[in-house]
Each structure stands twice: as structure tokens, then as C-alpha cells.
Structure 1
Amino acid sequence: MTDLPALPVLRLEALDASGVVTGSAAVGPGDGKVVVGPFAVAVSIGTASPTGLAEVALSVLPTGPDPVTGHLRLVASVAGAADPWWMIPGLFYGENRPADCDRRFPRFEAGADDPAGMVSDHWSFRADRAATPAVFAWGAAGGVVVATDEVTAAGPAGIGFAHRADDADVHVVVPFREDPVTYYGSGTPLPAQAAAHVWRPGERVELRISAGALPPDRHAYAPVLRAVHERNRPLHPVEPWVSVPDAATIAAEGLVRWHYDPDPGVLLETVGFDREVSGNDGRPVDRQAMHVGWVSGIPWAYALLAHGRRTGSAAAVEAATRVIDFCCATLSPSGTFWGRWERSRGWTQSWTPIKDGLHARTLGEATLFLLRALDLDDRAEWITAARSNLDVIRDRQRADGNLGSVHHAEDGRVLSWAGASGLTWIAAFCSAAGLDADGSYLAAAERAGEYYARFVEREFIHGAPEDVDLAPTSEDGYAAVMAYVALYRRTGAARWLELATRAADWMLTFRYTYNVRFAPRTPLGIYGFATRGGDQASPSNQHLHAYGLVCTEELAELSAATGDPHYRERAEEAVACFRQLVPAADGEVNAYRGMITERYYQTECFQPKGMLLTLSHAWSAGVLLLACEQLLGGVAPAGT
């Protein structure tokens, strides 16, 4: 970074309560004073760090005799950005929502002004929507970043960007403004919201913001976010409620006690915390269904099986074996698993709106964990099911390596090639070494690895979850990490290790680097829930979830392979985060022992900030169990 300017072009703007700019002034290196609208601001800009970030200290004093209600905004610009690339960690990636994505949430488009459709050339958000309150932008020749803390001396911060012809602007605004609309998890936006702060005469407000210039490589975000994480780690502690062994025991008991139904042998996807209000022991609110992978099914049955083998729990082994048996007993006519079982109609398609569609990520994840289960129990029916899934997906692979995203349950046609949901199959193929006599599975994995590399290198991986269509998600990051670590494990090729590292950095953009401040009377505030280590699910689903625990072992492998402890430490940090709010006894967290929620509401989306979803999810208990078993050494990836 020695060839970069110490700072990008910066300016300060004053905004009134309605958001109208009332004053603007350029600021540059060193110390100085400027008048911006109703504010006199002393500016002190420090020296850029090796990451390119410099501290911008602002000492703000109203100039008039009357109180001022309004905002102060620091803007950094990069020129030569006719086609800009944006990133707000966990919140906004490039265009963010592809034009053909069925799910509606904020999208960038140059020159657009469609607030109702959530398509705009400028966006501003409250800072707690971001895993790190920072905004990156790149043009043709370089990039720029601004960063802040969630809460400032002038109230909660906001972050955002705007496109102006050939310039890309990124900003921090205090207190926050959301513009042009507020996204609350629905396809119908809410009116734009803003926090209020009264700047009082004679009352000086001290603000600290960071800004920096970046090289053209979009991956330049990685050292910046790592530096922020390292700074925050001692300032934002995470205190787990239970030990790793106890978390494993509680999660396993929760799966067996609440989610397992021996008739016909399923892990019910969701179970309500409240067992009385709806009558019949709460069963009317429980989701009487099971996906074969992803939100239920084989992956978490595998974790339960591993736990049962390690601890000698016959109940865990019996439940896990029965679930895997049930999934393997009835394959779709096309030769893969079905997508989902429903009590009312049996095995059926995935959640995709495409008729008779089976989602590649769900099928691939089920097959991957079935192969891991075979390391613990070499059952003929499981081998048959694994071979069938592997063979038909291998045979459908396109010449360029694409494995398809949605497959027809009856005739096996690939119904969609869009996105990167086929990534999970790479790990499955790599894990089938014992079944790969002719090497065709590994060859398919390597072809797919080259095809899906374009998503990792573009810093836009999308399509993994069934329920958010083509949005970029944290789950795409997990799939990519698992895929490229698996390829490296099998081949030792430096190409795969490089992609695994790059994918891990992108995945970690979704991981919170700080503890969100909650109102003291909200559930998360009362419990003192620490968000550092939790992942934003996606720009579409803005809540924290624990699915990142699925690649705990892979991140540890990546650290071992690179000699960089960062990835293992971040994996352990996530396990620490989700050992909070684990009910060890009936009644804790308004739940029963072993019930694990899916959603922690760290921002205003779906529910008010500070709440948690009062449903236990099979995958939430399962992924915590998996990670704990991996840390305890009870499991290892198939193929090792």
C-alpha cells in the first residue's frame, strides 16, 4: 500500500432533521478547522495504518445560540467509478440483489430511483445492520473505505453510499439515517427512518471515524476487517454460558427430546418454545416436516451419531441411525434424495418455486454428511444411497464444470444453472474417496472447483439457501470454504488453498466483529448477549444465526495449512458466541433444556432489535452439536 495516497478525497456535510444538506466543506490531511452549516468542526486526521485506514477525529460545536437537530456526515470519494463495486460487510455486496432474483430486498442500480421496489443508486443504513460498520467502494483504479463504531457520542451511527456519474461516495452519518427506505425483512419497505440528536450550544461532541484508500483488488477489504476485529476483540468480550462438552450434551438431548420423532424417523424442523398455549403439548406450532439436509435431516443426524458414539449414548445413536435410514430408504425417481418430507404428503420437492425442483445445495449437503456417517457406520443401504446421489450429479455435470442448481425430481433434468449452489457437491465428491475407484468423483470436483472459482474471485457468491433465491448469503461462504478446503485436503494443490483462504475471508465478512448494544429491558439486553462471532444470515435475512459452525473443522484445517491462526480463532469465537443462550434447564431463556433458537435479532428486521425467535430449530441444535464434537475431536471430515 506504499503507493497509495494516505487518504481519499474527504468532505464533511451537515444535514437538517429531514436530511437536506445545509453545508459542506472539504477536509484534508493533518489538523484544521472548518465551518459546516451550523457546526464548527475541528478536524484531526492521523497517519494511515498499513491497512490504509487513518483515524479522523472530529470535535463538533454548534455555532449558533439555539439547539440544532440534525446530522453530520463524513463522505469519502473514489473517482473513475462508472461501474462501482460496493461492500458493506454482511449487508451489501455489489448490486446486492441480482436483477433476476425473486426475493426483494435492497438493490443497487446506477441511476435508479425506485424506493417502492427497493432499487436505488444510493443507500444508507443504521450501522447495526452491518457485521462491521464499514463501507467499501471500488472504481476502475482503486477503492475507498470508511468505518465507525455502532454507537457514537451523537447517537447510533449510520453508513451508506451513493453513486454520482463517475464517482462513488461512501459515508458515515451520525446519528443514522436510512434512505431511501427502511428494509424490515419484507418485500414491501417501510418509510425511511432516522435517529435524532440535539446538538446543544456550548456542548462539544467528539467523534471518531476511520477512512482510507484501497488498491483496485476487491479483496483489499480482508486486512482492513482483520485489523478492526483485532482492535475490537479485547473491547467486546464473549462469555459462553456452558462449556463445549456441556453444550454438546445439551444440544444432543434437545435433538432427541424435542425434534426426533421415531415414527417415521425424522428430525422435525421447528419446535415451539411454548408447549402449553396452543394445547396438545405445543404440537400444532411444530413444523411437521424434515428437509433431507440443510435445516434438518442427515447433517444433524450425523452430528448426533458422532456424539452418541463418543459418549456411549444408545438413544442418540438409535435416533440418528433411524433418521439416516429413513432418508436413504426412498430416493427420488431421478436417483437423488428427495428435498423434503412432510407428514401430510410424504417426500416431496425442495422449497424452490420451480415445480418438481430439488435444490442442489440441500442434496449435496445431505450426501456429504451421509459420507461422513459412513465413517462411523458402514451400512449397505447408506452406501447405495450415497453412490446413487454421487453418480447422477456427476453425470449431469456440464462441460464447463457447473453442477446445476435445481434438479427435476422425476426425470433428472437440470432446471436451473444459475448461482453457485452446486458448490456443496465439491466437498461431497472429495469425501467419497473410498467409493471413487476410477477417480471420476474427484475429477468432477476439480472441474466444479474451477467453474465456481469465478464466484469466489468476483467476491459475490450466491444461491446456497433454498429460501432466498439468488441472494448472496453467509451460507454461500460456508459452502465455498468447505468445497475448497476439501479439494486441498484431497490434492494438496496450492490453487485450492488460495481459493479456500479467499472464500474464508469473504465468509468472515458476515461475522460480527463487535457486540451490538441492546436496550436493557429487551431479552438480548437482559441476558447480555454478545454478538461478536455471530453471523448475519444474509442481506435479505438480517438476523444473526449459527450456521457458520458447520465449517468449524475446515477453518481449523485452513489455519493449519496456511500457518495463520486467524481462521481457527474465528471458528472458536463463533462456537463461544453460540454457547450463549443455551438453556441448560427447563425454563431458561423461556424455553426447555436443549431448545436452540435460529434467530437473534441484532437490528430492526423481522422483529424489534433485542428479541429472539421462540422456536427451536433442528439445524440450530445440530450445528452447535457438530461444532462441539469437532472441537472435542469426536469427528473428522470424510476422506481424511
Structure 2
Amino acid sequence: MSQFNIEYEQIAQGYKLRIHPSFLKEKVAYMQQSALLSTTGLHENEHVTISDVTESENEIQLTGSSIHFAVKTNLKSQKGTCEYLDVEMEITYNGDSGLDAGIQARFDLIGSGRPTWMIPGAFYKENRFAHNTRMYPRYDYNGGDQEKLESDFWAFRSDRAALPAVFAWNEHFCGALFTEEMSELGLSGLGFIGNEAGTAIWLNFPYREEPITFHSPVDPHPADCETHHWIPGEIVHLQYKVYVGDSSLHAYDPFVRELYRQHQEMYPLNPWMDLKKAADLTAHGLHYWHYDPKHHILNETAAFDREFNGNVGGKGDRPHMHVGWVSGAQYAYALLAYGRQNQVDDYTQAATQVMNKIASGLSPIGIFWAEWKVDKGWGTGWNPNNKWLQARTISEATLFMVRALQFEKQHGKNHSEWEKAVRSNLDFAVKCQREDGNFGSYYHCEEGTVEEWDGSGGILWIAALLEGAKYFNDDTYRQAAILAGEYYQRFVLNEFIYGAPEDVHLTPTSEDAYNAVVAYVLLYEENENEKWLRLSRTAADWMMTFRWTYNLEFPEFTMLRQLDFRSRGSDQASPSNQHLHNYGLFCVPEMLRLWRYTKDNYYLDRTRDNLACFLQCIAREDGDFNAYKGMVTERYYNTNCFQPKGMLLTLSHAWSVGVILYAAQEAQAYADELKIMG
């Protein structure tokens, strides 16, 4: 077997199987496998021991048994993007009467060092800092406090993961297990443990959620441990894959790419329309349902059910506007571009009025206020402290105000108030920047002090400053951006980028990945330094761990099943906000340029997936999936979190509509390469 050496150890009950990666020199670096019957929980299991082994050139067959089961296992070495083992298990129940139980395939990682983890889209490293204000599962080597969602072991449903795989690292190597979302025993599961007793990863058939089920940050549920009812003589077949890589934190990437390559063939896309139709519909939706001509804002939400909205005094609509992120400048820019290019004056005027509103909303420290509310006016947004303004929201607004200025200048239009506002924001970023390049994540709205230095919430200042440097011909901005690129690379190289959204304090999110891609692609375009290109690729690869490679099996009578919604190409919002969202469209232009610079078709394919996925569920006419023409939901529920799997949130969000409008227009230049509609 080319990559894997298989070793056996005679023990009292039979054999232990060891999978040793031959390309690693350390003899301590191997994974030790045993199949287990999960009856009462993680720590009480019925072991299957191996009684017979046959070996050929690329294949090993194992036969074993336990008290209730006979197991035949076939391990075959495979090589695609990387080398891995395909494992097939035939399990026969030999009991005399029915038994409720599940099967667990567990591998122990032999070696030293505290482990680190990744379940794509669902769990990253320790996943949450102890001081984080947002509650969601956290790994604690010493056990932690389960009431605070802390534990040294976790097990999850596979549908929480963008790719149903569990990765573990120690000082010597990376090991991973993968299985498909669904098995002959139903929904599968993923798990891990790491403490003084050792490190292990496993697959559950059917799933188990332990020690607590993460239903929402404010509503954790008890453990959910599914079992299968076995009948005498029943035979079940299960499949999974084993991967071993080196100890680098990027060792996940070859296996993710290989599984994606296979899933491309297995799980088809299903776009409902082409890019032009999507732009037409979302321009209509953003203007008709979200633009407020009285206050010149883009309302953050519009309820699907307009009768209900009338019955509750309009409370289904949210008459608020963030200047970036969930509303504001990015989407006004997209509407402005559509209006000018298609001669729709109403759209152009509305977008211009929104930009005017944002430009008028400078805080005492010279940067944009984060949010405007009816009856309250300007404020700080959804931050941990009501005196704080968050760097990501402000820098994103600044970036798209600069882009709007550039666009308008090309059309012979000048906006002096926009220029003054943008200058004020960029000057603040330069002024508050630390000597090492850090812009900080939160600013006191009255004093201008940096209140939180941790996180990468300020990374988008890089993009805003680079585009500002070109527009204003100011090298100070360019130098600040380059210095920041040196600082923020630590988050990318550590494969743990966190702190972007206001509402999930210091949390790793897909949005952090998007922002890093935008920042480093623009840095590469500034001076063609290959280091920036490598960082762009690393950020993009990490971003792809949030992106679905497969199509979820939605329950039969749910809305997403009835719509035949294909999840391949969608992104998990974050380990804290576990739902599918379309914010990845934010970096479509940078991803397409990254593909051209690298000639790596993986980036083109996965960006095509992202676009194709969200050319679904744009309301084509009033009544389409109970929405109105041009509406787009914010949330598609992929698992037992917030709402039942297969539901969608019955609110249209300005950002969810606007980011499709933005990406659909930006992607038009690549329409021939994308070939989304065949």
C-alpha cells in the first residue's frame, strides 16, 4: 500500500489495527482503529476484535466479531488529489432478539501534543475563546463546564458540516475520517475527544449529539443519541474514508479537494435562472421591498407574509439600516451600477440617496455610524458595548463608498460629500493603526480609542485603503494597507480567522474568510508580491471548508425538499450561526480573479457552485415559495439549529438580495467560463 503501512498487534481479544502513514518519519505517528457498538454512550461500548486478516497489493480484508455482531471490513488504498483509504464494512447482527444500538468507527491518534480540530463549517480548533460573549460549543482539554457548552469531547450530526469529516492534529500528523451525510442507518455523525487519556476521532451510525445539542446560543438541548433497531440476521453496509496528512495546519486541503472532486460527480447543481435574470429580479426586490423613499435607507428586512406584516403594525419589516454588512453601501452600490447600466432612473436615484444618507452619518470620531434606526437615528449597531463601533462594518461601508465614487467618476458624476466622508474614515484608520499594522476591531464612538485589539475585524481596511489610495492618489493609504497585510497574515496562516460580524464576538466565521480573500487579492494586485498570492490561496482554501460540497437530504415534507433545493455551493454562516447563507457572493469578483492568477480550476468550480446555489430561491413572481417577486431569504436551515432542518426564514434581507445583485453583475464578465446555465 503506497501511503499506508498496516500493522497488527496481538491482544487477548484478537488484533488491533494500526494505520501508519509511511511518508511520515516518526514511528509514533499512526492511527489505531477499532469498530465499536455504541449502546449507552461514549464510554461504554462493545468492541469488535479482528480474528482474520488477508492482504493483497492495495487491499486488506478484516474479519471480526463482538458479542452481538460479525463484521467484515475491506480497506483499499486510493489515490486522487491525495492518498486515502476507502473502508467498507459489512455488519451482521447475530443476536436472538431485537436490539437498539448504533455503530461507531473510532480511530485513536498516537503521538504527543494537545490536539486541535476541524469539522468543516462547524468546529475550528477550540472553536470559542473562554472570554467570548457568544455561547456555542467550545473544546476544553481539561473538560470545562458543560453548562457553558464546554467539553473535552463533542459529537455532532453530519448535516452540521459543510463536508462530513472530522480532522484532528497532534505534533506529528493530521488524521481525518469522512463519511457521507446519509447511511443505511440514517443520518451519520462525527465526533472527537482529547484529554490526558488520549486523542480520538470517530464516526457514528446513526448520529449522536453529545454532551449537549447545540440548538441555539440561548437554547441548548439535551444530548440526542439516535439508535437503530436491529433485528436478528440483519445485514448493513457502511462506508467511510481515512486520511492521514502531515502536521501542518493546511494539511486538510488535499483531502477536502479530493472529496469535492468526487462530490462534483455525485451531487448536481440546480440553478433556477441565469445571471441576468437574477440581477433583474434582485434589483427589483431591493428597490421595491427594501428601499424606504421617506428615510432614504435600505430596510434590513421585509416580511414574506405582507398580510401578517400589516396585522402586526409593520413589525415584520425592520426599518433599520447598517451602513455595511447587513445593509447599506455595498447593496446601494450594486443598485447604483444596475440603474446606470440599464437606464433605470428610479434605481439610480434611490441608490444615490442611500449613499448620501450614509455619507451624512459620521460619528464624533470621524468614521461612519454603524446603523440608522427610525425614531432613533444613528447608532453603534449590535456590538458587545453600545459605545463601540466595529471595524468590519465601517471598513466595508468605506470600501463600497470608494467603489461608488470610482464608478460614478467613470460616468461623469462627482460627489464631494461622499469624498469627504470616505477621506475621514480612511484618515481615522491610518491614525488608529498600531505600529505592527493592527487596526483594532472595536472603537469608542466618542473618544476614538481602540477598545478591542483582538481579532481580524479590521482586515477589510486593507481593501478600503488600497482603493482609496488609487482614487485619492494618496500613498499613505497604500503603505498602511501593506503594513496591515503583514500583521493580519497571522490569522490566515493560523487557519483561524475571526471577528468579522458584529453579532458573534470574536468567532471564526465564513465572513472572515471572505474578507481575507478580498484583502489579499487586492494586495497582490497592488504589487504582485507572491506572498500576497499565497495568502490569498490559503484564505480561499480555508473559506472552502465552510462551503457545502454535497446536497443535503432534506426531510420529505419540508419547503427546501419540495423546492428541490441543492445545497452544494452554499456556505455555513459560522459555528455559532449554523445555517446556510449566501454572503460568500461578496467575494465572487476576487475569487474569479484569483482563479485567473493561479490557473487553479478548483477556485473557478467552487465559485461557480456558490453562484449556482443562490440562483435558486430568488422569488420569480409573487407567491413563489410564499415570497414576493425579487425577495430572498437570509437563512436556509441545514440541521437541528434555530429551526428544523429544511425550513427557510420567511424574511427577505437587504444583504441577501443585494449580494446576489452585486455578484450577478460582477460575474457577467466571466459568463463564458462559468457556464452556469449549461
TM-score by length of 2: 0.91
Is it true that 1:460 corresponds to 2:496 in the alignment?
A: yes
- Contact 1:427/1:445 (8 A) holds in 2: yes
Partner of 2:531: 495
Is it true that 1:172 corresponds to 2:192 in the alignment?
A: no
TM-superposed deviation, 1:113? 4.5
Is it true that 1:3 corresponds to 2:23 in the alignment?
A: yes
- Contact 1:397/1:403 (8 A) holds in 2: yes
- Contact 2:459/2:484 (8 A) holds in 1: yes
Partner of 1:548: 584
Q: Deviations over 1:344-363 (max 9, x none)?
A: 21011121122321110000
User: Aligned partners of 1:368, 1:90: CA distance in 2, in Å?
Assistant: 27
User: Aligned partners of 1:23, 1:263: CA distance in 2, in Å?
Assistant: 68
One-letter amino acid of the counterpart of residue 508, structure 1:
M
TM-superposed deviation, 1:508? 0.8
TM-superposed deviation, 1:61? 0.4
Partner of 1:139: 170
User: Aligned in 2, Cα 1:633/1:433: closer, same or farther, shift over 3 Å?
Assistant: farther
- Structure with the bigger percentage of strand: 2
Match of 1:22 among 37, 41, 45: 45
Partner of 1:422: 458
Match of 1:43 among 65, 73, 89: 73
TM-superposed deviation, 1:497? 0.3
Is it true that 1:531 corresponds to 2:567 in the alignment?
A: yes
User: Aligned partners of 2:332, 2:401: CA distance in 1, in Å?
Assistant: 9
User: Aligned in 2, Cα 1:164/1:329: closer, same or farther, shift over 3 Å?
Assistant: closer
**Which structure 1 residue ranges, 5 or more long, are not aligned?**
636-640
- Please give the residue correspondences for 1:303-382 in structure 2 after superposition, counting only pairs within 5 Å: 303-377=334-408, 378-382=414-418
Partner of 2:118: 87
TM-superposed deviation, 1:25? 3.9
One-letter amino acid of the counterpart of residue 300, structure 2:
E
One-letter amino acid of the counterpart of residue 485, structure 2:
G
- Contact 2:321/2:371 (8 A) holds in 1: yes
Match of 1:400 among 436, 460, 464: 436
Q: Deviations over 1:472-498 (max 9, x none)?
A: 100000010011001001110001000
One-letter amino acid of the counterpart of residue 160, structure 2:
R
User: Aligned in 2, Cα 1:233/1:152: closer, same or farther, shift over 3 Å?
Assistant: same
Query: Which moves more between the two structures, 534-543 or 19-28?
Result: 19-28
Q: Deviations over 1:537-571 (max 9, x none)?
A: 00000000000000001110111111112112211
Q: Deviations over 1:561-589 (max 9, x none)?
A: 11112112211211110111111100111
- Please give the residue correspondences for 1:119-268 in structure 2 after superposition, counting only pairs within 5 Å: 119-165=150-196, 167-268=198-299
TM-superposed deviation, 1:87? 0.3
User: Aligned partners of 1:81, 1:7: CA distance in 2, in Å?
Assistant: 11
User: Aligned partners of 1:634, 1:573: CA distance in 2, in Å?
Assistant: 14
Q: Deviations over 1:73-93 (max 9, x none)?
A: 111222234311100000000
User: Aligned partners of 1:602, 1:269: CA distance in 2, in Å?
Assistant: 23
Query: Which moves more between the two structures, 230-239 or 530-539?
Result: 230-239
Partner of 1:622: 658
User: Aligned partners of 1:73, 1:37: CA distance in 2, in Å?
Assistant: 15
Q: Deviations over 1:455-482 (max 9, x none)?
A: 1111111000000001110000001001
TM-superposed deviation, 1:453? 0.7
Q: Deviations over 1:262-283 (max 9, x none)?
A: 1221000011111112426962
- Contact 1:436/1:442 (8 A) holds in 2: no
- Please give the residue correspondences for 1:466-485 in structure 2 after superposition, counting only pairs within 5 Å: 466-485=502-521
- Please give the residue correspondences for 1:597-612 in structure 2 after superposition, counting only pairs within 5 Å: 597-612=633-648
One-letter amino acid of the counterpart of residue 82, structure 1:
G
User: Aligned partners of 2:459, 2:121: CA distance in 1, in Å?
Assistant: 20
Is it true that 1:409 corresponds to 2:432 in the alignment?
A: no
User: Aligned partners of 2:259, 2:604: CA distance in 1, in Å?
Assistant: 17
Partner of 1:638: none
Partner of 1:12: 35
Partner of 2:16: none
User: Aligned partners of 1:444, 1:515: CA distance in 2, in Å?
Assistant: 43
Q: Secondary structure at the match of 1:14?
A: strand
The percentage of aligned residue pairs carrying the same residue is 43
User: Aligned partners of 2:579, 2:45: CA distance in 1, in Å?
Assistant: 35
User: Aligned partners of 1:281, 1:137: CA distance in 2, in Å?
Assistant: 49
User: Aligned partners of 2:66, 2:290: CA distance in 1, in Å?
Assistant: 59
Partner of 2:17: none
Q: Deviations over 1:205-228 (max 9, x none)?
A: 111011121100110111111111
Q: Deviations over 1:489-522 (max 9, x none)?
A: 1110001000000000001100011011011211
User: Aligned partners of 1:43, 1:565: CA distance in 2, in Å?
Assistant: 36
User: Aligned partners of 2:621, 2:346: CA distance in 1, in Å?
Assistant: 20
User: Aligned partners of 2:128, 2:311: CA distance in 1, in Å?
Assistant: 42
TM-superposed deviation, 1:17? 5.1
User: Aligned partners of 2:181, 2:419: CA distance in 1, in Å?
Assistant: 51
TM-superposed deviation, 1:306? 1.1
Is it true that 1:431 corresponds to 2:467 in the alignment?
A: yes
Q: Deviations over 1:232-270 (max 9, x none)?
A: 112111211121101111001001001000122100001
One-letter amino acid of the counterpart of residue 311, structure 1:
N
User: Aligned partners of 1:550, 1:56: CA distance in 2, in Å?
Assistant: 39
User: Aligned in 2, Cα 1:240/1:428: closer, same or farther, shift over 3 Å?
Assistant: same
- Contact 2:30/2:110 (8 A) holds in 1: no
Match of 1:284 among 295, 315, 320: 315
TM-superposed deviation, 1:535? 0.3
User: Aligned partners of 1:138, 1:270: CA distance in 2, in Å?
Assistant: 42
Query: Which moves more between the two structures, 452-461 or 50-59?
Result: 50-59
One-letter amino acid of the counterpart of residue 590, structure 1:
N
One-letter amino acid of the counterpart of residue 538, structure 2:
R
One-letter amino acid of the counterpart of residue 162, structure 2:
A
**Which structure 2 residue ranges, 5 or more long, are not aligned?**
4-21, 54-58, 409-413, 672-678
Query: Which moves more between the two structures, 257-266 or 16-25?
Result: 16-25
User: Aligned partners of 1:22, 1:355: CA distance in 2, in Å?
Assistant: 50
- Contact 2:102/2:226 (8 A) holds in 1: no
TM-superposed deviation, 1:111? 2.1
One-letter amino acid of the counterpart of residue 94, structure 1:
K
One-letter amino acid of the counterpart of residue 354, structure 1:
N
One-letter amino acid of the counterpart of residue 204, structure 1:
I
Q: Secondary structure at the match of 1:336?
A: coil
One-letter amino acid of the counterpart of residue 10, structure 1:
Q
User: Aligned partners of 2:356, 2:247: CA distance in 1, in Å?
Assistant: 51
Is it true that 1:574 corresponds to 2:597 in the alignment?
A: no
One-letter amino acid of the counterpart of residue 543, structure 1:
H
User: Aligned in 2, Cα 1:22/1:160: closer, same or farther, shift over 3 Å?
Assistant: closer
- Contact 2:309/2:317 (8 A) holds in 1: no
User: Aligned partners of 2:151, 2:387: CA distance in 1, in Å?
Assistant: 35
User: Aligned partners of 2:348, 2:472: CA distance in 1, in Å?
Assistant: 28
User: Aligned partners of 1:315, 1:570: CA distance in 2, in Å?
Assistant: 35
User: Aligned partners of 1:234, 1:389: CA distance in 2, in Å?
Assistant: 47
Partner of 1:31: 61
Q: Secondary structure at the match of 2:200?
A: strand
User: Aligned partners of 1:119, 1:218: CA distance in 2, in Å?
Assistant: 23
Match of 1:585 among 621, 642, 648: 621
Q: Deviations over 1:434-470 (max 9, x none)?
A: 3453411111111111111111111111000000001
Query: Which moves more between the two structures, 70-79 or 89-98?
Result: 70-79
User: Aligned partners of 2:30, 2:388: CA distance in 1, in Å?
Assistant: 50
User: Aligned in 2, Cα 1:355/1:582: closer, same or farther, shift over 3 Å?
Assistant: closer
Q: Secondary structure at the match of 1:277?
A: helix
- Contact 1:274/1:282 (8 A) holds in 2: no
RMSD of aligned alpha carbons: 1.8
Query: Which moves more between the two structures, 238-247 or 134-143?
Result: 238-247
User: Aligned partners of 1:90, 1:532: CA distance in 2, in Å?
Assistant: 13
TM-superposed deviation, 1:26? 5.8
